[in-house]
Amino acid sequence: MTIQDVKDRGDLIVIHIPDTKTYKPRTACITEQSWLNLVRKYQSLRPPGTVGIHTFGSIPSKIATFLKLENLGSYTGHCFRRSSATLLAGRGANITTIKQHGGWKSTAGAEGYIEDSLKARVAIANQLVGQTSSATQSTRMDPVSTDNEDEGVDSTLIVTPITSSRRCASNTHIQNVQLSSVNANLPTINRYTQLSELHNYF
């Protein structure tokens, strides 16, 4: 990637990834205003030079250090991929959306990255008894048609209990670090965007 692969379009930032581990280009967007502001501030202050692949991979561990989380070594670049799939599922995204987000071709491949969560379990329990209260409606799992009949898997529900063997930090623990907590620390985070500190931290 180069800085030309990041395009600021005002109300969103579009990130083009020309090469991935599956050898297919990907595109992602940032729309949250506070995140847009942080990206723009970083762009204005970042020193010249190359940011290597190992630097990108170490960012989750740096975030975990900043948030004073335990088991820092388990927060790897790969955890972003798994956590984002779990968060999407917990918020009611169907399996097609999750597959598109992660670039997975098979349903089984996508499900392997989704960690079970209490939030999803509550939503499914409420579905079983026909409850759709406002407190749980946003986390309700939508039924989807299966596209892996040849694999003999029933994909009626988006989330199935999966125990992943991948060595990433618990997504349940990550989900407990709410966006409001991160936003509350923005003044402190912004201190790291001072030029000298930014260079030392990243």
Do 91 and 137 meet the contact criterion of CB atoms below 8 Å apart? no
Integer Cα distance of 175 and 35 in angstroms: 18
pLDDT at 127: 82
**Averaged pLDDT of the chain:** 70
Residue 63: CB atoms within 10 A of its CB come to 17
What's the pTM value of the predicted model, to 2 decimals?
0.53
Amino acid identity at 32: E
E strand residue ranges, the chain: 6-8, 13-17, 26-30
The predicted-structure confidence for 93-112, as pLDDT tens digits, reads as follows: 888 888 888 888 888 878 87
pLDDT at 116: 66
Average pLDDT over residues 134-147: 41
pLDDT: which is higher, 119 or 47? 47
pLDDT at 132: 56
Pairing of the two strands 26-30 and 13-17? antiparallel
pLDDT: which is higher, 59 or 186? 59
Q: What percentage of the chain exceeds 90 in pLDDT?
A: 14
Is residue 18 pLDDT above 80, yes or no?
yes
